Amino acid sequence: MLKLPKFSMGVGDRFGQQGKAQLSAFIKAKELGVDIAPVWNKSNREHTTIGTQPPSVRVEADAAVKECGWSGAYFVDADHINLKNVDGFIDSSDFFTLDVAEAIGKPAAAADIDAFVQSMQKYVGSVAIDGLSAPLSVSQDDLVRIAKTYLGAVKEAGEIYRHIESKKGAGNFVTEVSMDETDAPQTPDELLFILAAIAQEKIPAQTIAPKFTGRFNKGVDYVGDLPQFEREFRDDVAVIRFAVKEFGLMDNLKLSVHSGSDKFSLYEPIRKALKDFGAGVHLKTAGTTWLEEMIGLAEADGEALDLAKEIYTQAYEHRKELCEPYATVIDIDFDALPEPFVVDLMESKAFVEALRHDQKCEGYDKNFRQLIHVGYKVAAKMGDRYLNMLRDNEEVVARNVAGNVFDRHLKPLFIG
Ligand SMILES: [Zn+2]
């Protein structure tokens, strides 16, 4: 069985140019004695926006691994796939994130719900789980409501899983079940029954991505109640540990945090929970590698900075349409965005400071950063003009990409 190691991190790379730079950060962690498996993830949405095909991610990952002589585990994640789009990812991926968030709330067949509720009767009442902040209290009504809300989604995950299994063969890929792209967070008691349903559906899930409480906006820090997040995260870890034994799930099953990148304030509580429970985690980050490319170009100055400014100008002009697909995961104050003529006057240092995610820096501008985050379509349209500029400035770009992965993610989360 292909198994995901205890620690793993998903790195997106929209333009597929930074595999080596990203991997160098994992090599640095390994040299410090911490093994973290890199997972290159790219969703169908990103492929569609940029005009790439799923096999390109495999080509990038394999090439980076070969060039860097990486001997550890690594994976290529078909991120947020469903039955409609999974086929294009079958050959090149060995990690599949089954996205069933849309099926939440669509009830399964009444007979299936009854059977599930029947099979879970022993958990009605108070459920004491080792490590939980308080025993779960589950009424019959709760159980029925949870079954109606989530059983259909888990059954859909089973369908997608079996479709992939029929093509790739059992044990040849890692399975993640994701429910994060929805409005309501899942509570620990809901997670318990979701895991029970996953076991009944015989999905060998190695990671589960619930929706956590709070805002996970793209490329910026967490907004929410930190103590509440910490309590829920620890409770989820405890529930998973219990469910693995109770329901016979994969022994390496762990939480997957779809962070949307840069949830720096969560790293300390997560690291502490992992240490206390001896648990693992998969951290998925979004496309902030693209932002580091922009920072690298701005730092390079001259025509590279000019191109970065041109991208901002176009992103500003198309801000409404660029933001639309991301409406639920960005918070941009349009009135506070610098106008293109202001950005045009910026020196290299000012552009870099506005974009780089250093919240202590006075020049940091989260509106500017979020707009560029969703503005990758502008660079995709430039095609070779953009890619050649990256290649011409490879060293400064790679330094920013690698430094970001190591200093802002791997180190605070896994090393401390
Ligand atoms: Zn996600």
Compute, in angstroms, the gap from residue 286 CA to the centroid of ligand 1: 9
Compute, in angstroms, the gap from residue 180 CA to the centroid of ligand 1: 5
Compute, in angstroms, the gap from residue 115 CA to the centroid of ligand 1: 30
Task: Quickly state the pLDDT bin for 227 (edges 50, 70, 90).
Answer: very high
Compute, in angstroms, the gap from residue 44 CA to the centroid of ligand 1: 12
Compute, in angstroms, the gap from residue 251 CA to the centroid of ligand 1: 23
Q: Residue 12 pLDDT more than 90?
A: no
Two structure tokens written together for 331: 């918070």
Q: What is the mean pLDDT of the chain?
A: 96
Instruction: Calculate mean pLDDT across residues 327-350.
Output: 95
The C-alpha atoms of residue 185 and residue 211 are separated, in whole angstroms, by: 5
How far is the CA of 369 from the CAs of 110, 328, 351, 352, 402, in angstroms? 47, 16, 10, 10, 19
Among 151-155, 183-187, 334-338, 390-394, whose mean pLDDT is lowest?
Answer: 183-187
pLDDT given for residue 295 in this prediction: 98
Compute, in angstroms, the gap from residue 101 CA to the centroid of ligand 1: 10
Compute, in angstroms, the gap from residue 202 CA to the centroid of ligand 1: 22
Q: How far is CA 108 from the centre of its chain?
A: 28
Instruction: Calculate mean pLDDT across residues 128-135.
Output: 94
pLDDT digits (tens, 9 = 90+) for 164-221: 999 999 999 999 999 988 889 999 999 999 999 999 999 999 999 999 999 998 889 9
pLDDT given for residue 183 in this prediction: 84
Question: Does the CA dihedral 302-306-308-312 come out positive or negative?
Answer: positive
- Percent of the chain, pLDDT > 90? 92
The answer to whether 4 and 176 are in contact (CB under 8 A) is no
Instruction: Calculate mean pLDDT across residues 57-82.
Output: 97
The C-alpha atoms of residue 272 and residue 234 are separated, in whole angstroms, by: 9
Side-chain-facing half-sphere of 267: CA atoms under 13 Å: 20
Q: Which of 336, 339, 283, 286 is nearest to 309 (CA)?
A: 339
Instruction: Provide CB contacts within 8 A for 8, sequence distance 6+.
Output: 36, 37, 38, 39, 75, 280, 281, 282, 283
Two structure tokens written together for 91: 């050959």
Q: Residue 75 pLDDT more than 80?
A: yes
Compute, in angstroms, the gap from residue 276 CA to the centroid of ligand 1: 26
Task: Quickly state the pLDDT bin for 327 (edges 50, 70, 90).
Answer: confident
The secondary structure element, H or E, covering residue 343 is helix 340-344
Q: What secondary structure letter does DSSP report for 105?
A: T
Compute, in angstroms, the gap from residue 12 CA to the centroid of ligand 1: 12
Instruction: Provide CB contacts within 8 A for 175, sequence distance 6+.
Output: 96, 98, 161, 164, 203, 204, 205, 206, 207
Give residue for tokens 């509720």.
117
Compute, in angstroms, the gap from residue 79 CA to the centroid of ligand 1: 8
> What are the residue ranges of CATH 3.20.20.70 in the chain?
7-286
Instruction: Give, rounded to a whole angstrom, the gap between the first and last alpha carbons of the chain.
Output: 31
Q: Residue 286 pLDDT more than 80?
A: no
Task: Quickly state the pLDDT bin for 103 (edges 50, 70, 90).
Answer: very high
Q: What 3-state DSSP class applies to 126?
A: strand
- Which pTM was predicted? 0.95
Compute, in angstroms, the gap from residue 299 CA to the centroid of ligand 1: 31
The C-alpha atoms of residue 218 and residue 200 are separated, in whole angstroms, by: 34
Compute, in angstroms, the gap from residue 173 CA to the centroid of ligand 1: 19
Compute, in angstroms, the gap from residue 183 CA to the centroid of ligand 1: 12
Compute, in angstroms, the gap from residue 181 CA to the centroid of ligand 1: 6
Instruction: Calculate mean pLDDT across residues 27-49.
Output: 94
The secondary structure element, H or E, covering residue 41 is strand 37-43
Q: What 3-state DSSP class applies to 26?
A: helix
Compute, in angstroms, the gap from residue 412 CA to the centroid of ligand 1: 21
CB-based burial label for 53 (10 Å; 0-12, 13-18, 19+): exposed
Instruction: Calculate mean pLDDT across residues 85-90.
Output: 97
Q: Which CATH number is 7-286's, of 1.10.10.10, 3.20.20.70, 3.20.20.100, 3.40.50.800?
A: 3.20.20.70
Compute, in angstroms, the gap from residue 111 CA to the centroid of ligand 1: 31
Compute, in angstroms, the gap from residue 258 CA to the centroid of ligand 1: 5
The C-alpha atoms of residue 339 and residue 361 are separated, in whole angstroms, by: 21
Task: Quickly state the pLDDT bin for 329 (edges 50, 70, 90).
Answer: confident
pLDDT given for residue 260 in this prediction: 85
Task: Quickly state the pLDDT bin for 37 (edges 50, 70, 90).
Answer: very high
pLDDT given for residue 395 in this prediction: 98
Q: How far is CA 255 from the centre of its chain?
A: 11
Q: Which residues of 210-239 are buried (b: 16+ CB within 10 A; e: fewer)?
A: bbbbbbbbbbbbbeeeeeebbbbbbbbbbb
Instruction: Provide CB contacts within 8 A for 23, sequence distance 6+.
Output: 38, 64, 65, 68, 70, 74
The secondary structure element, H or E, covering residue 349 is helix 348-355
- Percent of the chain, pLDDT > 70? 100
Compute, in angstroms, the gap from residue 297 CA to the centroid of ligand 1: 28
Instruction: Calculate mean pLDDT across residues 138-149.
Output: 98
Among 94-103, 216-225, 235-244, 335-344, whose mean pLDDT is lowest?
Answer: 216-225
Compute, in angstroms, the gap from residue 209 CA to the centroid of ligand 1: 7
